[in-house]
Amino acid sequence: DAGVIQSPRHEVTEMGQEVTLRCKPISGHDYLFWYRQTMMRGLELLIYFNNNVPIDDSGMPEDRFSAKMPNASFSTLKIQPSEPRDSAVYFCASSPGALAGLNTQYFGPGTRLTVL
């Protein structure tokens, strides 16, 4: 398996533009997580899905952020409109799930977002 795949790896955009981050989880994993990492705030959980259904989005900072998981192999995190304070590294992670006896998370390489 190729692991969790994220695209793009780097994104530079201007304030006010729409940004879409993409994630392909590991096949067979039931859970998908979106995190944001900054020096100031560390690693923050934004939202997570179980079997494509959003379970907890309490970490989504504002209505400008939205996430979807239309099927088991694809998820998007969208920021519209983007602001400079959204600059961070965004990680996607997937997990087989606790029912499988394992809730270890497997992280993608991240998308480094810079909003000018």
Partner 1 sequence: SQQGEEDPQALSIQEGENATMNCSYKTSINNLQWYRQNSGRGLVHLILIRSNEREKHSGRLRVTLDTSKKSSSLLITASRAADTASYFCATDTNAGNMLTFGGGTRLMVKP
Please report, as ranges, the residues that interact with partner 1 according to CB under 8 A.
4, 31, 33, 42-43, 45, 48, 50, 55-56, 91, 93, 95, 97-98, 103-110
Smallest gap from Cβ 45 to partner 1, in A, equals: 7
Asked if 71 contacts 52 with a C-beta cutoff of 8 angstroms, the reply is: yes
Handedness of CA 116, 32, 75, 29 (dihedral sign): positive
Q: Which of 48, 41, 90 is nearest to 67 (CA)?
A: 48
- CB closer to partner 1 out of 44 and 81: 44
What SS3 class is residue 85? helix
Smallest gap from Cβ 89 to partner 1, in A, equals: 8
Smallest gap from Cβ 109 to partner 1, in A, equals: 5
Query: CA–CA separation, 26 vs 7, rounded Å?
Result: 14
- CB closer to partner 1 out of 23 and 115: 23
What SS3 class is residue 86? helix
- CB closer to partner 1 out of 59 and 81: 59
- CB closer to partner 1 out of 98 and 116: 98
